[in-house]
């Protein structure tokens, strides 16, 4: 079974480094967020790349003030491989993670965290130096 980030229904099992932020677009709990003219969902794709910095602790709409975390344990994924690195996703998967390292020149390929099991990820966006493919 291939890795899947459902985008909704993720479970925040634990969060550390709590901050309150104002969103510049809608998000779901567990989304990876970055800053680009406001807090938005991260994306690895060159041209629209937003490096991950925080994990959304709750759903929110543009303009809402939400809880976010610098480090979080998130459940609700499927098909993950324990121990594998995860990255911010490419394409149109804003805020999602993937086990597939982005390889297009200029894409963000910073490790965002690791899979603890097939369904749980330990995420620490912003804990490593930004890197691109």
Domain span at 45? 11-123
Determine, yes or no, domain membership for 129.
no
Determine, yes or no, domain membership for 62.
yes
Q: Looking at the predicted structure, is the pLDDT value of residue 1 above 80?
A: no
Rounded to the nearest angstrom, the gap between the alpha carbon of residue 49 and the centroid of all alpha carbons in its chain is 13
Per residue in 101-119, pLDDT (tens digit) is 998 999 999 999 999 999 9
Determine, yes or no, domain membership for 55.
yes
Report the pLDDT averaged over residues 64-69: 98
Per residue in 30-64, pLDDT (tens digit) is 999 999 999 999 999 988 899 999 999 999 999 99
Determine, yes or no, domain membership for 3.
no
Determine, yes or no, domain membership for 76.
yes
Determine, yes or no, domain membership for 131.
no
Report the pLDDT averaged over residues 83-104: 95
Determine, yes or no, domain membership for 132.
no
Per residue in 70-82, pLDDT (tens digit) is 999 999 999 999 9
Determine, yes or no, domain membership for 41.
yes
Beta bridge partners of 21: 66
């Amino acid at each position: 079974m291939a890795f899947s980030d459902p985008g909704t229904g993720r479970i925040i099992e634990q969060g550390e480094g709590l901050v309150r932020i104002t969103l510049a677009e809608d998000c779901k709990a567990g989304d990876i967020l970055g800053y680009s003219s406001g807090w938005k969902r991260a994306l690895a794709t060159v041209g629209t790349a937003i490096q991950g910095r925080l994990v959304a602790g709750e759903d929110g709409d543009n303009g809402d003030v939400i809880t976010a975390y610098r480090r979080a344990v998130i459940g609700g994924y499927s098909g993950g491989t324990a121990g594998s690195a995860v990255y911010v996703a490419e394409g149109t998967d804003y805020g999602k993670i993937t086990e597939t390292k982005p390889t297009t020149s200029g894409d963000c390929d910073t490790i965002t965290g690791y899979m603890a099991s097939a369904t749980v990820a330990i995420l620490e966006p912003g804990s490593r130096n930004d890197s691109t493919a």
